[in-house]
C-alpha cells in the first residue's frame, strides 16, 4: 500500500473500529475488547509502516478537499507528526490492555460507550498528528476536545459533570477565542496555513504583532496547559484512569505541545522567532508554569491530581525547550514528548492499579503498599525517576538535550528552571516512593489486596520497560527530531 493510502487508513481505521466496537458491544464484552485490540494493533501497524518512509526523508501527503479557497483539508507526514502518531498509536495498544483490566476490575458502567469514544479520540489524535495545515489541525483539535468530553464525564454524577464542564469550557473557550483568530489571522495575511519548514510568517507580520500572534497561538492551544490555561487538566482527572493515562498524559496534552512546537517550527520558523524580541515572553511563561505547577504539585494529597500538576510542568518543558529556539533544544522537545509519555502513562497506570486493587486515591494511604503490589510500585518508581530525570530512564535523555540546547543558547533562565524543577520533582516524588517501600502499613487489618487484574499489571510493566528502554534505544526518535531541525543554523 502506498503512503498516501496509509495516511487515510490511519485516520479512518479507528472510526471503523468505533463502529465495530459499538456493534460488538451488543454481542459480548469479550468480542468488543477483541475489536478494540485488533483496531489498536491495526492502527499501530499502519502508522509504524510510515516510519521508514519518513526516516528516509519522504514527506507523504494527501489533500482531501479544498473547503474554501486556499483553505484545504490536507494531511502531510513530517517527522514531528510521525513521532507523535507513532507514540500515540503504539501506546493505545498497551492502554487498551490496561483499560480491560481497569474497567472490568472496577465494574464501570457504559463500557461500550467508553471504548467507542476512545477509538474516536484516537482518530482525532491521528488527524492532529498528520494535519498538513493549520486549518486541518484545528478541525481535529476540536474533534479531540469534543470526543473526549464523554470520557471525562463518564461517571455522570454531579461532581464529574461540573469538572467536565470546566474541561470543555476552558478548552473550547481558548480554542475558539484565541486559537481560531490566530489561524484566521495567519490565513488572512499569509494566504495559507501550510506547515512549511522555515515558517511562513516571515515578511508578512513584523514587530510586536509577532508576539501577539504567538500569544494567541500558545494560549489558544489550551491543551498545552501553559499557565494560566492549565485548570482543565486537573479537572479532567475525574475521568476513569485509562483516560487520564492515554489521553491526559499522552494524546490530548501531547497534541497541545505538539501543536505549539509545530507552530513555532513550521509556521513562525525558529530563526525568525529568534530574531523577534517580542516573542521572548514565551520562555518566561513556560518557565513560570514549570516552577509554579511543581510547587502546586508539592501540596497535593490526591495522587492523580499530583500527577496532573506534574504533567502541567512537564508539558511546559516541551514548550520551553521549543522556545529556546536552538536545534538541540528542539530535538530535546521532541524527545521529551516521548520520554514523558512513557513515564507518565506508567505513573497513571500505577495510580489506577492502586485504585482498582486497594481503592486508594490519597498519597498518605500508600504506606507500605510497595510490598503488596511490588510490580505496580516498581513501575511507579521507574516512572517517577524518569520524571525527575535520573538515568537510566527516558527522562534523562530528553533533559540532556534540552540542557544542551539551553547551554548552546546560553539561556540561563532555562538552565536554572530545569535545575530547580528537577529538585522540586524529586521533592514530590521521592516521599511517595519512600512511603510505599519503607514505611509500615497503618491500616494493615483492612488491607488484604494484592495486585490489580493481570491485564493492568501487564500494561504498566510494559510501559515501565519502555521508559527504561528509551534510555538505551532512542535512535529513531533522535533521527526524527534531527530531521525537524536539519535546515537550521
Partner 1 sequence: MNGLAQHLPALQVVVPMLVAAFVVLLRPRGLAWAACTVASVLAFGIAVELTQVVLGAGPVTYLMGSWPAPYGIELRVDALSALLLLVVTGASVFALVSGRQSLDAQIEVERQPYFFAAWLLALAGLSGIVVAADAFNIFVFMEISSLASYVLIAGGPDRRALPSVFKYLIMGTIGATFYLIGVGLIYMMTGTLNLADMEFRIHAVAEQNPILAAAGFITVGLALKAAIFPLHVWLPNAYTYAPHMATAFLAACSTKVSLYVLLRFDFFVFQENLAGHAFQFAAYLMPLALLGILVGSAVAMFEKNVKRMLAFSSVAQIGYMMLGASLVTVAGLTAGIVHIFNHALAKGTLFLAVAAFAMVAAGVRLDDLRGIARRMPWTFGAFIVAGLSLIGIPGTAGFVSKWYLISAAMELGPAGLPLVAVILISSLMAVVYIWRIVEVACFAKAADEGTSAVSVSPALITIMWFAALANIYFGLVPELPLTLSGAAAAELLDHLP
Minimum distance, C-beta of residue 176 to partner 1, in the bound complex (Å): 5
176 touches partner 1 (CB under 8 A): yes
Closer by beta carbon to partner 1, 136 or else 417: 136
Minimum distance, C-beta of residue 127 to partner 1, in the bound complex (Å): 11
Minimum distance, C-beta of residue 153 to partner 1, in the bound complex (Å): 7
Minimum distance, C-beta of residue 147 to partner 1, in the bound complex (Å): 12
Closer by beta carbon to partner 1, 101 or else 193: 193
113 touches partner 1 (CB under 8 A): no
Question: What is the rounded distance in angstroms from the CA atom of residue 13 to the CA atom of residue 404?
Answer: 40
Helix axes 208-220, 281-298, angle to 10 degrees: 30
Q: Is 325 helix (H, G, I), strand (E, B) or coil?
A: coil
Question: Which among 18-26, 61-69, 375-383, 450-458 is the span making contact with partner 1, rule CB under 8 A?
Answer: 61-69
Which H or E run includes 75?
A: strand 71-76
184 touches partner 1 (CB under 8 A): yes
For the chain, the straight-line distance linking the first and the last C-alpha, in angstroms and rounded, comes to: 37
Place of cell 507526514: 77
User: Residues 139, 274, 292, 427: which binds partner 1 (CB under 8 A)?
Assistant: 139
Q: Are 286 and 319 in contact (CB under 8 A)?
A: yes
Instruction: Compute the radius of gyration of the chain from its Cα atoms.
Output: 21
280 DSSP 8-state letter: T
Question: Which among 101-109, 185-193, 227-235, 307-315 is the span making contact with partner 1, rule CB under 8 A?
Answer: 185-193
Q: What does 180-237 look like in DSSP terms, one character per residue?
A: HHHHHHHHHHHS--B--TT-S-TTT--THHHHHHHHHHHHH-GGG--TTS-THHHHGG
146 touches partner 1 (CB under 8 A): yes
23 touches partner 1 (CB under 8 A): no
Minimum distance, C-beta of residue 220 to partner 1, in the bound complex (Å): 11
Q: Is 368 helix (H, G, I), strand (E, B) or coil?
A: coil
177 touches partner 1 (CB under 8 A): yes
User: Residues 4, 108, 142, 271: which binds partner 1 (CB under 8 A)?
Assistant: 142
Q: For the window 269-288, what string marks contact with partner 1 as x by the rule CB under 8 A?
A: --------------------
437 touches partner 1 (CB under 8 A): no
67 touches partner 1 (CB under 8 A): yes
365 DSSP 8-state letter: G
Q: Are 234 and 452 in contact (CB under 8 A)?
A: no
Closer by beta carbon to partner 1, 146 or else 469: 146
Extract the C-alpha cell encoding 132: 498538513
How many residues bind to partner 1 according to rule CB under 8 A? 28
Number of Cβ within 10 Å of residue 59's Cβ equals 16
Minimum distance, C-beta of residue 21 to partner 1, in the bound complex (Å): 17
Is residue 263 packed enough to be buried (19+ CB in 10 Å), middle (13-18) or exposed (0-12)? buried
Q: What does 430-473 look like in DSSP terms, one character per residue?
A: HHHHHHHHHSPPSSTTT----PPPHHHHHHHHHHHHHHHHHHH-
3 touches partner 1 (CB under 8 A): no
215 touches partner 1 (CB under 8 A): no
Minimum distance, C-beta of residue 223 to partner 1, in the bound complex (Å): 15
- Report which of 16, 261, 51 is spatially closest to residue 123, judged by C-alpha positions: 16
User: Residues 2, 65, 107, 489: which binds partner 1 (CB under 8 A)?
Assistant: 65
Q: For the window 156-175, what string marks contact with partner 1 as x by the rule CB under 8 A?
A: x-x--x---x--xx--xx--
For residue 74, list its beta bridge partners. Answer: 63
Closer by beta carbon to partner 1, 115 or else 470: 115
Phi then psi for residue 194, to 5 deg, are -65, 140
Closer by beta carbon to partner 1, 212 or else 427: 212
Site residues for partner 1 per CB under 8 A: 65, 67-68, 71, 73, 135, 138-139, 142-143, 146, 153, 156, 158, 161, 165, 168-169, 172-173, 176-177, 180-181, 184-185, 187-188
Amino acid at each position: 500500500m502506498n503512503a498516501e493510502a496509509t495516511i487515510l487508513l490511519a485516520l479512518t481505521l479507528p472510526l471503523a473500529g468505533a463502529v465495530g466496537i459499538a456493534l460488538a458491544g451488543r454481542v459480548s464484552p469479550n468480542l468488543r475488547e477483541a475489536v478494540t485490540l485488533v483496531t489498536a494493533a491495526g492502527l499501530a501497524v499502519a502508522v509504524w509502516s510510515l516510519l521508514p518512509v519518513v526516516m528516509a526523508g519522504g514527506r507523504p501527503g494527501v489533500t482531501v478537499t479544498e473547503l474554501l479557497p486556499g483553505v484545504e483539508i490536507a494531511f502531510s507526514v513530517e517527522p514531528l507528526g510521525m513521532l507523535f502518531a507513532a507514540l500515540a498509536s503504539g501506546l493505545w495498544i498497551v492502554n487498551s490492555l490496561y483499560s480491560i483490566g481497569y474497567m472490568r476490575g472496577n465494574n464501570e458502567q457504559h463500557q461500550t460507550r467508553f471504548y467507542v469514544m476512545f477509538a474516536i479520540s484516537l482518530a482525532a489524535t491521528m488527524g492532529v498528528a498528520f494535519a498538513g495545515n493549520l486549518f486541518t489541525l484545528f478541525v481535529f483539535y476540536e474533534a479531540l476536545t469534543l470526543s473526549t468530553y464523554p470520557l471525562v464525564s463518564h461517571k455522570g454524577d454531579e461532581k464529574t459533570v461540573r469538572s467536565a464542564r470546566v474541561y470543555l469550557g476552558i478548552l473550547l473557550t481558548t480554542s475558539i477565542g484565541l486559537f481560531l483568530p490566530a489561524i484566521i489571522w495567519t490565513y488572512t495575511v499569509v494566504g495559507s496555513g501550510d506547515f512549511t519548514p522555515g515558517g511562513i510568517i516571515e515578511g508578512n507580520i513584523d514587530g510586536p504583532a509577532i508576539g501577539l500572534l504567538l500569544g494567541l497561538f500558545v494560549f489558544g492551544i489550551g491543551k498545552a496547559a501553559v499557565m494560566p490555561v492549565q485548570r482543565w487538566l486537573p479537572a479532567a482527572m475525574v475521568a476513569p484512569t485509562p483516560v487520564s493515562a492515554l489521553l491526559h498524559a499522552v494524546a490530548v496534552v501531547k497534541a497541545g505541545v505538539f501543536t505549539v512546537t509545530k507552530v513555532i517550527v513550521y509556521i513562525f520558523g525558529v530563526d525568525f522567532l529568534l530574531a523577534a524580541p517580542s516573542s521572548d515572553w514565551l520562555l518566561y511563561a513556560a518557565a513560570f508554569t514549570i516552577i509554579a505547577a511543581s510547587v502546586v504539585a508539592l501540596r497535593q494529597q490526591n495522587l492523580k491530581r499530583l500527577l496532573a500538576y506534574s504533567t502541567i510542568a512537564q508539558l511546559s518543558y516541551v514548550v520551553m525547550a521549543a522556545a529556546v529556539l536552538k536545534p538541540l533544544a528542539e530535538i530535546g522537545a521532541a524527545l521529551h514528548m516521548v520520554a514523558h509519555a512513557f513515564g507518565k502513562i506508567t505513573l497513571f497506570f500505577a495510580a489506577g492499579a492502586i485504585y482498582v486493587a486497594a481503592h486508594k486515591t490519597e498519597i498518605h494511604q500508600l504506606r507500605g503498599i510497595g510490598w503488596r503490589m511490588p510490580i505496580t510500585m516498581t513501575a511507579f518508581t521507574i516512572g517517577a525517576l524518569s520524571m525527575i530525570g535520573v538515568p537510566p530512564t527516558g527522562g534523562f535523555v530528553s533533559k540532556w538535550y534540552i540542557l544542551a540546547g539551553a547551554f548552546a543558547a546560553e539561556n540561563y533562565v532555562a538552565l536554572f528552571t530545569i535545575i530547580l524543577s528537577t529538585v522540586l520533582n524529586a521533592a514530590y516524588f521521592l516521599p511517595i516512593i519512600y512511603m510505599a517501600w519503607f514505611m509500615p502499613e497503618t491500616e494493615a487489618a483492612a488491607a488484604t489486596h494484592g495486585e490489580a487484574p493481570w491485564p493492568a499489571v501487564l500494561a504498566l510493566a510494559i510501559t515501565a520497560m519502555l521508559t527504561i528502554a528509551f534510555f538505551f534505544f532512542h535512535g529513531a526518535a533522535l533521527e526524527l527530531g534531527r530531521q525537524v531541525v536539519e535546515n537550521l543554523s
